[in-house]
């Protein structure tokens, strides 16, 4: 499914990035920029109001093609307007990608339980197994993913509207997607230098946003490493 404001072949998707006061958000933005997206970053307490249909618009009045809800500290309920943003995306069928805290917010919006993870993961890697669905299409199974979280979605609480797209060998939920709407979430950090296939994952999502060339552009891209 593509965005109601899907881009043309000569245009690149406009992406609204909801920053949950996270230190990783601009690395994610760097990946999106590398892939050709046009990004606008707003803090989670300064998100513009969507229109009556749930579509978010930029300062120029043009609609965004997709919304990314970033990682961040705390719980989904403490993430400003993140859950309301996801509800608006559901109303408008605007593609949404939740990363880490954003993934947990997607789960909570649909009634899943977010609780303490089996172990604290801060900069640690795990192998993620998956069937190649949604934003995980084209990634190896398993692939290495970097995790920064102490909370996780309880797998037994995932409602019928959502499906688990990826998990660790211990069964910790690493990916979710809505069965009918273009709403996706990943618990791990695709922008981490140790995560395999991060560009491809984000390119898969940009394709959902209407950018048919994103996957081809992602080939051969290396992780961003910030110095200084």
3-state secondary structure of 48: coil
- Residue 78 — φ and ψ, nearest 5°? -95, 5
SS3 label, residue 33: helix
Q: How far apart are the first and last CA of the chain?
A: 41
> Which single residue is written with the structure tokens 């961040």?
72
Hey, is 90 helix, strand or coil? helix
Using an 8 Å Cβ cutoff, are 70 and 19 in contact? yes
Give the up-direction half-sphere exposure of residue 100: CA atoms within 13 A in the CB hemisphere.
30
- Give the residue numbers marked as catalytic: 100, 189, 191
> What CA–CA distance (Å, rounded) separates 8 from 190?
26
């Amino acid at each position: 499914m593509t965005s109601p404001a899907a881009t043309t072949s000569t245009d690149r998707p406009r992406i609204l990035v909801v920053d949950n006061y996270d230190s990783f958000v601009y690395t994610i933005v760097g990946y999106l920029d590398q892939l050709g997206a046009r990004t606008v970053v707003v803090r989670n307490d300064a998100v513009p109001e969507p229109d009556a249909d749930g579509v978010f618009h930029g300062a120029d009045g043009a609609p965004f093609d997709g919304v990314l809800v970033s990682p961040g500290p705390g719980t989904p309920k403490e993430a400003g307007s993140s859950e309301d943003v996801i509800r608006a995306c559901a109303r408008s069928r605007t593609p949404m990608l939740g990363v880490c805290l954003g993934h947990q917010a997607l789960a909570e919006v649909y009634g899943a339980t977010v609780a303490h993870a089996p172990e604290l993961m801060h900069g640690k890697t795990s192998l993620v197994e998956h069937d190649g669905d949604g934003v995980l299409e084209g990634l190896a199974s398993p692939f290495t993913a970097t995790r920064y979280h102490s909370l996780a979605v309880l797998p037994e609480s995932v409602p019928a509207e959502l499906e688990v797209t990826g998990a660790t060998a211990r069964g910790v939920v690493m990916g979710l997607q809505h069965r009918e709407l273009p709403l996706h979430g990943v618990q791990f950090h695709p922008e981490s230098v140790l995560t395999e296939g991060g560009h491809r994952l984000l390119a898969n999502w940009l394709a959902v946003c209407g950018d048919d060339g994103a996957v081809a552009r992602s080939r051969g891209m290396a992780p961003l490493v910030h110095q200084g």
